[in-house]
């Protein structure tokens, strides 16, 4: 019998890639989202457009004991969406409702396993002040002090999944993703994240010009290519280890250096202008000790390989847009 899998948030960046991968594996896949994937046709056997804040929709969607559920739906975006404060109430309310509804119906319908995508944004701000030496080991999460409401909701929902696991027996698996990027991700409009925003700015810039980077550019991050994110997600979901565990790259880079890398890949001559803008914590990097120990695997691809593929895809989008 084919494995039956549900992906919520299947119209989004990670969800749409995950559906394709599950189809390649031979699973029967249902996808759900407010919208279809923006850059490719839905690959799911069944794609339901609907709002997971509505418990009735959740009941309709979870009408069978799926072998695996991947809960990726969330009201989210990059620094320009999450760190301005303007979207805090919606972010907390919408994502918490989705998680509350989904867990209830999954337990009622005897779903076997559920994966939940938490975020590195749940780590305490005070451990991420030094750009050269952030601490994001899993056991540093408490006492909690995320720097955004997005991070607080993730922390609450992690606990919710663990509580449902404890009290109702549903197998929960929790990953803390660190900045996932790749082709077919949001690249414009205000919800895009740093790698996509930098690729777009470089692709749009005229040779000899300049690009703007938020903050002094010395803030550091690591970025995980989508293929490795999917590999880690499937390995964790099918393991005996519940998490929460980091799924991220440990190749830390300053944002100005990321910009320099993209400029080099583009072949253009551009200068960088640092301007004020939302930027989040000063430093963040994935600590991959635990995932290595528990899964015998960790992301290892170099940032450059993923950025080359992503820049090439975003450049195509920019050129298409310019023609339209």
Give the footprint of ligand NAD on this chain (CB under 6 A): 9, 11-15, 33-35, 51-53, 72-76, 94, 98, 117, 119, 177, 179-180, 186, 193
CB of 155 to ligand NAD, least distance (A): 12
CA–CA dist 271, 301 (Å, integer): 28
CB of 167 to ligand NAD, least distance (A): 23
CB of 1 to ligand NAD, least distance (A): 28
Please identify which of the residues 116, 123, 142, 150 carries the catalytic annotation. Answer: 150
Encode 99-151 in three state secondary structure.
Answer: HHHHHHHHHHCCCCEEEEEEEHHHCCHHHCCCCCCCCCCHHHCCCCCCCCHHH
Contacts (Cβ under 8 Å, ≥6 apart) of 323: none
Please identify, using beta-carbon distances, which residue of 59 and 268 lies nearer to ligand NAD: 59
CB of 151 to ligand NAD, least distance (A): 10
Give the residue from 131, 274, 130, 148 showing the smallest Cα distance to 214.
274
CA–CA dist 252, 224 (Å, integer): 10
Contacts (Cβ under 8 Å, ≥6 apart) of 310: 181, 182, 183, 185, 195, 196, 199, 225
Known catalytic membership, residue 116:
no
CB of 127 to ligand NAD, least distance (A): 17
Please identify, using beta-carbon distances, which residue of 4 and 179 lies nearer to ligand NAD: 179
Please identify, using beta-carbon distances, which residue of 154 and 201 lies nearer to ligand NAD: 154
Tell me the sheet residues that pair with 245: 175
CB atoms within 10 A of CB 125: 16
Measured between alpha carbons, how far is residue 15 from residues 222, 223, 230, 318 in Å? 21, 18, 9, 23
CB of 94 to ligand NAD, least distance (A): 6
Provide the pairing of β-strand 4-8 with 68-71: parallel
Please identify, using beta-carbon distances, which residue of 76 and 254 lies nearer to ligand NAD: 76
Q: Left, alpha or beta for 14 (phi > 0: left; psi -120 to 50: alpha)?
A: alpha
Please identify, using beta-carbon distances, which residue of 75 and 287 lies nearer to ligand NAD: 75
Please identify, using beta-carbon distances, which residue of 74 and 105 lies nearer to ligand NAD: 74
Query: Which residue lies nearest ligand NAD, judged by its C-beta?
Result: 12
Residues marked as catalytic: 150
């Amino acid at each position: 019998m084919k494995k039956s899998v549900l992906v919520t948030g299947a119209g989004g960046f990670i969800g749409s890639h995950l559906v394709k991968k599950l189809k390649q594996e031979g699973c029967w896949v249902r996808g759900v989202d407010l919208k279809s994937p923006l850059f490719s046709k839905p690959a799911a056997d069944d794609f339901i457009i609907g709002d997971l804040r509505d418990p009735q929709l959740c009941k309709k969607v979870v009408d069978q004991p799926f072998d695996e559920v991947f809960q990726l739906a969330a009201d989210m975006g990059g620094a320009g969406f999450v760190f301005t404060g303007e979207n805090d109430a919606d972010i907390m309310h919408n994502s918490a409702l989705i998680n509350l509804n989904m867990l209830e119906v999954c337990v009622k319908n005897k779903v076997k396993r559920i994966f939940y995508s938490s975020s590195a944004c749940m780590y305490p701000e005070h451990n991420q002040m030094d750009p050269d030496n952030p601490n994001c080991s899993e056991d540093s999460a408490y006492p909690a002090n995320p720097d955004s409401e997005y991070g607080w909701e993730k922390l609450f929902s992690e606990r919710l999944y663990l509580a449902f696991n404890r009290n109702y027996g549903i197998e929960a698996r929790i990953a803390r993703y660190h900045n996932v990027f790749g082709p077919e991700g949001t690249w414009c409009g205000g919800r895009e994240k740093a790698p996509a925003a930098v690729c777009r700015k470089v692709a749009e810039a005229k040779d000899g010009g300049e690009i703007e980077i938020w903050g002094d550019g010395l803030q550091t991050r690591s970025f995980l290519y989508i293929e490795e994110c999917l590999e880690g997600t499937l390995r964790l979901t099918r393991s005996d280890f519940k998490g929460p565990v980091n799924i991220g790259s440990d190749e830390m880079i300053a944002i100005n250096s990321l910009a320099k890398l993209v400029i080099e890949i583009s072949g253009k001559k551009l200068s960088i202008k640092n301007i004020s803008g939302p930027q989040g914590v000063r430093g963040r990097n994935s600590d991959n000790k635990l995932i290595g120990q528990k899964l015998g695997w960790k992301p290892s691809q170099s940032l450059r390989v993923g950025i080359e593929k992503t820049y090439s895809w975003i450049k195509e989008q920019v050129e298409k847009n310019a023609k339209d």
